[in-house]
Amino acid sequence: MLALSEQLSLGLVSIIGAGPGPVDLMTLRALDRLQRAEVVVHDRLISPEVLERIPANALRMYVGKALGNHSVPQEGIHALLIKHAKAGRRVVRLKGGDPYVFGRGGEEVQALQAAGIAFEVVPGVTAASGCSAAAGIPLTHRDLSASCVFLPGHLADDAATHDWRALARQGQTRVFYMGIQRLPHIAERLMAHGLSPDTPAAIVRDGTRASQTVLACRLGRLVERAPAYGPQPGLLIIGETVQLCPYFETD
């Protein structure tokens, strides 16, 4: 087996988590791989300051996805990674957050393995931990929450896809990625299965960035006051720990 230093001189795909935004929340390993890259295949939510770290002579390809608009199909992304790695290039697949948390990194690894391509996965600060910390919301707390669950916002589209009764139980923090658009449906499902509308909840948009906004209040009131879905990335957090947020509104 080749040492990593030898692999870096051959065709290798580094699947990198860029974190939730600011470049100083990237790991040293992620920055190292990005600055060595010959080809960078990047997503929509990568911040400009991270993109500035891409070498000037590197081939840069945008494959971002937004709701209902995928610039390149997932299979096309697989093909790009394989093509350039087979040509002996150092390829970086640059993703926001962490590649293995709702980032489809697992699918890309499967495709690379099937093609016999050398790869590595560099973890990143996922939005749940980065944005909650920036908003002053602990994901767990000895007195308030013994567990935390990460969920996709589209879970609310089909009531049969998850155990909503279990999700409505007290003592846990629920983090919905891209949950703003479906907040009314998510709240409806949870409250229908026993969660109190007085449960603290928050929307964090542009978490960890200078443009961060936080709206934190009781779940029932949050549904009434939630901003319209827009291009800003947003996280929905529901659970008792939200009451510790310095922006939490008690009224």
What percent of the chain has a predicted confidence (pLDDT) above 70? Answer: 91
What average pLDDT does range 73-85 have in this prediction?
96
251 is catalytic: no
pLDDT given for residue 159 in this prediction: 59
4-122 falls under which CATH superfamily? Tetrapyrrole methylase, N-terminal domain (3.40.1010.10)
Domain spans in the chain, listed from the N-terminal domain onward: 4-122, 127-244
DSSP E strand stretches across the chain: 12-17, 39-42, 59-62, 65-66, 69-70, 90-95, 119-122, 147-152, 172-177, 200-205, 213-218, 234-238
Query: Residue with structure tokens 């827009």?
Result: 230
How is residue 55 written in tokens? Answer: 């070498």
The CATH class of the 127-244 domain is alpha beta
Pairing verdict, β 172-177 and 234-238: antiparallel
Task: Give me the catalytic one of 24, 32, 65, 95.
Answer: 65
State the maximum Cα–Cα separation within the chain, in Å, rounded to a whole number.
61
Phi, psi of 47 (to 5 degrees): -70, 155
List, for residues 199-211, the tens digit of each pLDDT value. 999 999 999 999 9
Q: Rounded to whole angstroms, how far apart are CA atoms 221 and 224?
A: 5
Task: Give me the catalytic one of 24, 32, 43, 198.
Answer: 43
83 is catalytic: no
Which of these ranges, 15-24, 182-191, 221-230, has the smallest mean pLDDT? 221-230
pLDDT given for residue 65 in this prediction: 73
